[in-house]
Amino acid sequence: MTAKKRVDRVAGEMIEMATLLSKRGIVSMKNLEQIKALGTAPPAYTAERVAAIRTKKAKMSQAVFAGFLNVRPSTIQKWESPASGKHPVGAAAKLLQIIETKGIDALAC
């Protein structure tokens, strides 16, 4: 079994268990939603989508946005360039998903 399949299986089982515990009143609906969000893979981000999140949601320059995501400005440039073929994955994609759905303030603690 590959590492990705194992992670997907574990995440699925975690969500299933949390759902069952929620039905019993052991896990709150708020916590269930948080568990589902953590266990769900972020969507694929196109160059246009990354640029839209940065300019419309975060309202930041590439350099500031890069610092906020703890990546190099050249990484943001590559993500926003369709010709590069690069796109965010892993933690960076998850952070973009949070910014896209909840706004930049959700990460500013």
**What is the domain partition of the chain in residue ranges?**
3-39, 47-106
d(CA 83, CA 8): 30
In this predicted structure, what is the pLDDT of residue 5? Answer: 63
Note the pLDDT tens digit of each residue in 66-98. 999 999 999 999 999 999 999 999 889 989 999
Is 45 a residue whose pLDDT tops 70? yes
Q: What is residue 69's predicted lDDT score, i.e. its pLDDT? A: 93
Predicted local distance difference test score (pLDDT) of residue 7: 61
| pTM for the full predicted model | 0.72
Q: What are phi and psi of 70, to 5 degrees?
A: 60, 45
The reported pLDDT for the residue numbered 109 is 64
Average pLDDT, the chain: 90
CB 92 within 8 A of CB 71: yes
